[in-house]
Every structure is written in C-alpha cells, then in structure tokens.
Structure 1
C-alpha cells in the first residue's frame, strides 16, 4: 500500500473537512467497486483452478473415485468432494 501526503493531492478545504473526523492518523480510502479485479484475474490463477476443477469433475464422472483424485491432485478428500458435488459453472 502506498502512502501519499494529503496536502500534495487534496484541496485545502477538503483536508480541513477530513480533519474534523481524524487528525494525524493514517486512513485507508478504498477503490470504487468498479475498479476491483476478481481474485486471480490478472495472474491467470482463477482460470487455472477452473480448468483443474473441470478436469476433476470429468475424471469423477468417468469412474475415478474420490480417494484417488485426492492423491492425484494433492488435495484433501473434503476438497475433492466440494469440487465434484458443487454445481458446475
């Protein structure tokens, strides 16, 4: 997180207004919701997990058992159950 001195970017009138609520403390101003990226959207991590989960579902439908899938994908049995029994996207 980057810190910026308010005097460098905000008008004096706005600083005076903010000082009525907080003085000498660090405050966090979040991005607007439209600016947020979903987890993994930039790195490709979300796509990788979606692809892996689809492969697990396919293997389960073609007669692989949950215990073997857990070993093959290095995941817990509970995680495999969540993947194969959840609704597909």
Structure 2
C-alpha cells in the first residue's frame, strides 16, 4: 500500500471536511465492494489450479487411482480426495 499526501490529491473542500474528523493521522480508504479481486486472479494461479483440478477429476473418472494421481501431481492422497469429491 502506497502512502499519498491528501492535500496533493483531494480537493480543498473535501480535505477541510475530512480534517473536521481526523487530523495528522493516516487514514485507510478501502476499495469499494465488488472491485476487490479474489486470490490468484491477477497472477492466473486461480485459473491454473482450477484447470489442474478438473484434469485430476477427469483422470480419476477415467480410471487412474488416487495413489497414481498423488504421485503424478505431488499431492497427498487426502488432497486428491478433496479435489475429486468437491462439488465443482
């Protein structure tokens, strides 16, 4: 999070109004609801894991064992089971 001086970016009227409530302190202004991205959306991790999990499910239903999937994807058997039995 980057620090920005309020008198540089806010109009004078708004700055005076804010100073009625708080002076000389840092104020955090959150991102509006609905604009915040979920984990992994920027980097593509969410998409990658979703595709990987779908591949794991498909391979399991095609006959690959949990042990084989665990070995192939370097995940524990419990993690493979969670992926297979999830409702996605």
TM-score (norm 2): 0.79
1:77 maps to which residue?
77
Task: Give structure 1 stretches of 5+ with no counterpart.
Answer: none
Deviations 1:29-73 (A, max 9, x none): 112224323332332222211110011001111222222212211
Q: 2: CA distance between counterparts of 1:80 and 1:25?
A: 49
Q: Go from structure 1 to structure 2 and tell me whether the alpha carbon gap of 1:75 and 1:23 turns closer, same or farther (over 3 Å shift).
A: farther
Relative to structure 1, the CA distance from residue 13 to residue 57 in structure 2 (aligned partners, 3 Å threshold; closer, same or farther) is same
Q: Which runs of 5+ in 2 are unaligned?
A: none
C-alpha distance in structure 2 between counterparts of 1:76 and 1:66, whole Å: 9
Question: Could you state the TM-score of these two structures normalised by the residue count of structure 1?
Answer: 0.78
1:1-89 equivalences under 5 Å are 1-88=1-88
CA distance, structure 2, for counterparts of residue 15 and residue 63 of structure 1: 65
| Structure 1 residue ranges (4+ consecutive) displaced by more than 4 angstroms after TM superposition | none
